[in-house]
Amino acid sequence: MTNVVADTAAAVAEAGAHVIEPRKISSGFSWPECPRWHNDTFWFTDMYTATLRTLDADGNATVVVDASGRRAGTDVPITLGGFGWLPDGRLIVTSMHEKLVLVHGGNGPDDLEVLVDVSEFAQAAINDMVVDADGRAYVTQLGFDLFAGQDPVPSPIIVVEPDGTASTADEVGPLLCANGIAISADGTKVFTAEVMAQKITVIDRAADGSLSNPRPFATCPFMPDGIGLDESGGVWAAMPGSGYVARFTEEGMTDAIPLPLENGVASACLLGGPDRSTLYMTVGVEVFDFEKSAREAQGTIWVADVSTRGGDTRP
């Protein structure tokens, strides 16, 4: 990783990116991921405890959704990934290894039912998700068993319509381990991080929610993971193992936030706060050993004050 960090630092310097220092605001999590800002509250997935949590202003976490009870009687890991809200206010979330989208009824943390089974479209774990204003969900997937060391295989974005039917975005075609996914403020563009291609891809989105015309938006100096958009057209991306979170436009890297690896690995980021100008970053230590990650709970949440705002971008 030393070369990766050095190479990324060199890319930051070459781009003349504005460097912003972060600060830690909370700790004690397994592998935190998929940050969200909803109803003036910061939310995130604590993956290996199978929970979704919120943070208050003092950094104290509260479990809002708890899927750990789904572990009974199954060998399939119960790991929650991307999540969002339907127009009627219900929360939906991916159960990655079950290849399900679950819906939270709101009657207690464990009130979860299956919204749709997308296993016929997924060879391996599903991943992140963004929900549009109509309640349509775009779900990314790994496409291969990362945790078993398999070679990367391209795979499509899965689309779950508001009526619960699922299909693949065939006009986009297979992507190389799409991960973080987001929708522009005007709803006309979808962005996703193609991890193994080391790039951010932009896709046209029509009024009916259909996707087409995928094309490169930005090349990253290292593998991008979770992303968040700003209303100025930038994409903020965590690059696990690089020691940086950075902002990209079509012209290149504009801003960079150093997160030294001794603090953990930045997995995802999103603009939140009262005016959505605070960049929240999830940072984990152990991603491959699920039990160890949950037991040692070394994951943290960091923030940085930036000059751009999230506006009406999603998630």
- pLDDT, position 1: 57
Would you state the structure tokens that stand for residue 63, as one six-digit string?
């479990």
Q: What is the pLDDT of residues 254-269, one digit of tens each?
A: 999 999 999 999 999 9
State phi, psi for 120 to the nearest 5 degrees: -70, -15
Q: Does the pLDDT at position 151 exceed 90? A: no
Q: Omega into 315 within 30° of 0, i.e. cis?
A: yes
Query: Would you call 6 helix, strand, or coil by DSSP?
Result: helix
pLDDT band at 2 (very low <50, low <70, confident <90, very high): low
Average model confidence (pLDDT) for the chain? Answer: 96
**Domain assignments of the chain as residue spans, ordered by start:** 2-305
Would you state the structure tokens that stand for residue 183, as one six-digit string?
């929708």
Cα 213 to Cα 139, 145, 191, 225, 226: the distances in Å are 18, 28, 12, 22, 22
Calculate the CA dihedral of residues 253, 30, 289, 74 and round it to 10 degrees: -120
Instruction: For the full predicted model, state whether its pTM sits above 0.85.
Output: yes
pLDDT band at 288 (very low <50, low <70, confident <90, very high): confident
pLDDT band at 44 (very low <50, low <70, confident <90, very high): very high
Would you state the structure tokens that stand for residue 170, as one six-digit string?
């065939």
How far is it, in rounded angstroms, from Cα 148 to Cα 168?
25
- pLDDT, position 74: 93
Q: Does the pLDDT at position 241 exceed 80? A: yes
H/E element, 65: strand 61-66
- pLDDT, position 144: 73
- pLDDT, position 142: 87
What would the mean pLDDT of 219-240 be, rounded to a whole number?
Answer: 97
Q: What is the pLDDT of residues 159-199, one digit of tens each?
A: 999 999 999 999 999 999 999 999 999 999 999 999 999 99
- pLDDT, position 311: 98
Q: Does the pLDDT at position 61 exceed 80? A: yes
Query: Which CATH code is given to the segment(s) 2-305?
Result: 2.120.10.30
Q: What is the pLDDT of residues 25-43, one digit of tens each?
A: 999 999 999 999 999 999 9
Q: Does the pLDDT at position 276 exceed 70? A: yes
Calculate the CA dihedral of residues 53, 233, 189, 127 and round it to 10 degrees: -30
Q: Does the pLDDT at position 205 exceed 80? A: yes
DSSP 145-166: -GGGTPPP--BPPEEE-TTS-E
Measured at the CA of 291, the angle between CA 240 and CA 177, to 5 degrees, comes to: 35
Other beta carbons within 10 angstroms of residue 136's beta carbon come to: 19
Q: Does the pLDDT at position 73 exceed 90? A: no
